[in-house]
Structure 1
Amino acid sequence: MKPRNYILLALLFPILLFSQSVDLDVFATGFSRPVDIKHAGDSRLFIVEQDGVIKILNASGVTNPTAFLDIDARVRSTANEQGLLGLAFDPNYATNNRFYVNYINLSGDTVIARFTTSANPDVADDTSEEILLTVSQPYDNHNGGSLAFGTDGYLYIALGDGGSGGDPQNYAQNLQSHLGKILRIDVSGATSFTVPATNPFVGNPAGLDEIWSYGLRNPWKMSFDSNNGELWIGDVGQNNKEEINNVPIVNAGYNFGWRCYEGNSTFNTSGCPAMSTITFPVGEYNYGGNPFKCSITGGYRYRGNLYPDLEGAYFFADYCTNEVGTLKFSGGTWNMLFHGPFTGNIATFGEDSSKELYAAGLTNGIVYKVFDPTLGVEENSLSNQYQLYPNPAQNYFQINNQNAASQIKEVVMYSFSGKLVSTTSITTENQKIMTDQLSKGIYIVQLISNNDTVSYHKLVKN
């Protein structure tokens, strides 16, 4: 593998040297209790609102005026943890237009349903609903809600232990209940679903066929690492530990320990299996303290290109402190850091089609973009071949060494935090890229050559 060389822009701007290494930039506002962020393989982000609405947020930070899906009338969201909770697009969405949602119905039970998009790709057909699975909920909390497709093509469904406190019916360890589990189903057929033959209890009356793993309290957000396919789960604790689980999906039947264990600590080991059979978390932090931590929001492992220093870091947040946490493997161990605090009670993270990360505040309705304020930009041969001039710029800039043999075909500009600002197609040599409409500040310019080679450059607008 070729070594990477990085330009640390913080060296050019010493004021940033004392900033935290993770920051959030306001990307869009005006949402009502956003609880999930997903993409469909293109530049759009789909923002799930808890009351039962999904909206489309474009790469420019503008929200479509018409909702993608509105099933508010079918969704019960009277309790804090009820509502429309999860969204996943079919791996073949580009051709079959199918997507899946996880919501609490008017009876208070979990529904896993499939919808299709209408002839308008920005509007779903709300009459196309096919209910695949309904799970009875004994209480109104601990519903989980995440949906995600694994690299195996199967749909994974995260469900909490049914609620109350301490899992009074021990649903998480009960293999005859869907609660406190991650289910795995095959939705590739024309209708309904089948159960993968590799699920651990297929043909075994000891457990339900749909169960893939168990022993979870309230898995509030799970995701798959887009690099290696491993599953990451943020599991909300009782009153002692908040935990992060990480497992490969080539295996199945993991017991994550609840209610026998809360994180790595014992909780109620009556009738529990041997400790050696438990899959313990790769990361945990204490509930309580000052500032008061109370509830983990699971996120994603960073696999984007804009911030190489963040490569491989797992992002999560605490709902009460508004801190963003990172868990990164170094020196043979997982190291946890907290950044912030921020605002809005972060209730979800999301990944766009370029693998850049976003977060959303439940109570302030803001979608943020995650960025590294020290901003390492990767150099390559194209970076050295071209320069921007004048730089700093006022009304425009140009690209030197721009000729027919080495043509730049497109110039994409981002804010310092990675928000898309403009895209310009280059049609003539020495073409000016106008900047008079930009505010003063620092921008990142992406140059795309005619053979799709990409480089990044810093531009200062005066």
Structure 2
Amino acid sequence: MKRKIHLLLALVFPILMCAQGVLLNPFANGFTRPVDIKHANDSRLFIVEQDGIIKILNPDGTTNATPFLDIDARVRSTGNEQGLLGLAFDPNYTINNRFYVNYINNSGDTVIARFTTSANPNIADDTSEEILLTISQPYINHNGGCMAFGNDGFLYIAIGDGGSAGDPQNFAQNLQSLLGKILRIDVSGATGYTIPPSNPFVGSNAGLDEIWSYGLRNPWKMSFDSDNGELWIGDVGQSNREEINNVPIVNAGYNFGWKCYEGNAIFDTSGCPPIATIAFPVSEYNYGGTPFRCAITGGYVYRGSMYPNIQGWYIFADYCSNEVGTLEPSIMGNGWNMNMNHIGFNANLSTFGEDMNKEMYAAGLSDGVIYQVYDPTLSIAENSLETNYQLYPNPVSDYFQIRNQNAASQIKEVMIFSLDGSFISTTTILTENQKITTNQLAKGMYVVQLISNNDAVSYHKFVKN
């Protein structure tokens, strides 16, 4: 019996190993226009809703009834790109309870503010707000909004070019404006902020002190690679190219090219600096097409441990096409290979995030669902000879159950295997809602063989947290 199963698995796995891309599993729902996902170096996920609310999502998929922060009354979210847009926890959050938000206020301007958590670690003190920076916004779109701490301890802030179309006032190339920039500030002091002395225009009249890099149109999500500290930026294009930028933060003063260039394509080079001074994207894709692609959602380089096959891949999405994209390091070591994979449902992916273990999540703006990112290439496709069963919860902790059984297709036996096809355990199923224990398993991915009363066989995968 075991020899036959091992042979079947051996035949299935090589086919699946050839699959490309990553997929998403629904993890939690019930959110309203989620636009950011962050953690505070513990098991909680903090889900930022565009209207001005931050909620806590627990590792079991439940959401706290009381929001972590509610500043809805201070936030203008009437424009499609306005609202509470970004969250960053201080590197010393466990000591100082400080975190930072980026939102559009009731005057339509960008606000960078600091808050502290109350005595209850699940509720912030909404009266503790200290406004650090206010940036005038001439239009309602292209606000950027993402914030993150680099491994240098400084706070990086992504600001769009001010909006409209084509950057009509050339803000992104104007070093006397904070629009179209990545800002870098030092927030380690008791109040306010200071300027890192390594910022490129410190002590010079050439540009504003807060500017770290410039030439961005609408940087919709940036992140730091937790392995090497490099910055990744997804910059939304005009009507031609969507671009991905990747730079080390040991340097500063990068000019990413907008509006001189849209991706690698010329947009308007009148009055622009020499092409040799432009930091062009590491990858790009075309606007439009079928499926229709319209706006990149920047992501993260995967550095988790559950899916070793995708280690080092940059994972992102397109908001309109409902595709998850990957940049995979070329086997020749001289670039990246892009793949786009439709996720199979309409979500309008607005953001990615990591948990404390560096496993990745994504959020659907239109469906309010938080998804887990997973690698399907080392798993058995969830299909059956007779019916589609589902394992839940998945990922699992101490047990899983089997959904979609009925009298005709009641499961009678469950067999668990490692990814190399080694047999681990078998369980005889006596009741429809019986729990299959997994607390004896190490973290990782496993394969399950289900055998029904009429001897139909199906294969499934689950992840053990």
1:381-400 to 2 correspondence within 5 Å?
Answer: none
SS in 1 for 2:184: strand
Q: TM-score when scaled to structure 2? A: 0.82
Matched, 1:366 2:369: yes
Q: What residue in structure 1 maps to residue 243 of structure 2?
A: 243
Matched, 1:350 2:341: no
**Is the Cα contact below 8 Å between 2:20 and 2:339 reproduced in 1?**
no
Q: Deviations over 1:269-321 (max 9, x none)?
A: 01000000000000100001111110000000000111111111101111110
Matched, 1:422 2:395: no
Shift of 1:333: 1.9
Shift of 1:421: 3.3
Shift of 1:417: 9.4
| Unaligned ranges ≥5, structure 1 | 1-7, 378-414, 424-432, 449-453
SS in 2 for 1:197: coil
> In structure 2, how many angstroms separate the alpha carbons of the residues matched to 1:344 and 1:227?
30
**Is the Cα contact below 8 Å between 1:230 and 1:247 reproduced in 2?**
yes
Q: What residue in structure 2 maps to residue 340 of structure 1?
A: 342
- Seen in structure 2, the aligned counterparts of structure 1 residues 190 and 25 have a Cα distance that, compared at 3 Å, is same
> In structure 1, how many angstroms separate the alpha carbons of the residues matched to 2:295 and 2:155?
25
1:277-288 to 2 correspondence within 5 Å?
Answer: 277-288=277-288
SS in 1 for 2:309: helix
Shift of 1:348: 0.4
Q: Return the letter of the residue paired with 2:374.
A: F
Q: What residue in structure 1 maps to residue 181 of structure 2?
A: 181
> In structure 2, how many angstroms separate the alpha carbons of the residues matched to 1:11 and 1:277?
52
- Seen in structure 2, the aligned counterparts of structure 1 residues 455 and 285 have a Cα distance that, compared at 3 Å, is closer
Q: Deviations over 1:204-243 (max 9, x none)?
A: 0110000000000000000000110000000000000000
Q: What residue in structure 2 maps to residue 105 of structure 1?
A: 105
Matched, 1:221 2:221: yes
SS in 1 for 2:246: strand
- Seen in structure 2, the aligned counterparts of structure 1 residues 438 and 369 have a Cα distance that, compared at 3 Å, is farther
SS in 2 for 1:205: coil
Q: What residue in structure 1 maps to residue 26 of structure 2?
A: 26
> In structure 1, how many angstroms separate the alpha carbons of the residues matched to 2:440 and 2:243?
38
- Seen in structure 2, the aligned counterparts of structure 1 residues 96 and 297 have a Cα distance that, compared at 3 Å, is same
341-350 or 177-186, larger mean C-alpha shift: 341-350
336-345 or 300-309, larger mean C-alpha shift: 336-345
**Is the Cα contact below 8 Å between 1:308 and 1:376 reproduced in 2?**
no
Q: Return the letter of the residue paired with 1:354.
A: N
Q: What residue in structure 2 maps to residue 375 of structure 1?
A: 378
Q: What residue in structure 2 maps to residue 3 of structure 1?
A: none
- Seen in structure 2, the aligned counterparts of structure 1 residues 270 and 438 have a Cα distance that, compared at 3 Å, is farther
**Is the Cα contact below 8 Å between 1:110 and 1:143 reproduced in 2?**
yes
Shift of 1:22: 1.3
| Identical pairs, percent | 70
| Unaligned ranges ≥5, structure 2 | 1-7, 381-390, 400-426, 452-465
**Is the Cα contact below 8 Å between 1:445 and 1:456 reproduced in 2?**
no
- Seen in structure 2, the aligned counterparts of structure 1 residues 42 and 148 have a Cα distance that, compared at 3 Å, is same
Q: What residue in structure 1 maps to residue 415 of structure 2?
A: none
1:76-115 to 2 correspondence within 5 Å?
Answer: 76-115=76-115
Shift of 1:442: 9.8
Shift of 1:418: 5.9
**Is the Cα contact below 8 Å between 1:156 and 1:184 reproduced in 2?**
yes
SS in 2 for 1:94: helix
Matched, 1:135 2:135: yes
**Is the Cα contact below 8 Å between 2:18 and 2:377 reproduced in 1?**
no
Cα RMSD (Å) of the superposition?
A: 2.8
SS in 1 for 2:301: coil
Q: Return the letter of the residue paired with 2:162.
A: G
SS in 2 for 1:209: coil
Q: What residue in structure 1 maps to residue 312 of structure 2?
A: 312
Q: What residue in structure 1 maps to residue 402 of structure 2?
A: none
- Seen in structure 2, the aligned counterparts of structure 1 residues 233 and 445 have a Cα distance that, compared at 3 Å, is farther
- Seen in structure 2, the aligned counterparts of structure 1 residues 18 and 53 have a Cα distance that, compared at 3 Å, is same
1:36-115 to 2 correspondence within 5 Å?
Answer: 36-115=36-115
Q: TM-score when scaled to structure 1? A: 0.82
**Is the Cα contact below 8 Å between 2:16 and 2:378 reproduced in 1?**
no
> In structure 2, how many angstroms separate the alpha carbons of the residues matched to 1:438 and 1:307?
31
> In structure 2, how many angstroms separate the alpha carbons of the residues matched to 1:443 and 1:309?
27
- Seen in structure 2, the aligned counterparts of structure 1 residues 434 and 93 have a Cα distance that, compared at 3 Å, is farther
**Is the Cα contact below 8 Å between 1:445 and 1:458 reproduced in 2?**
no
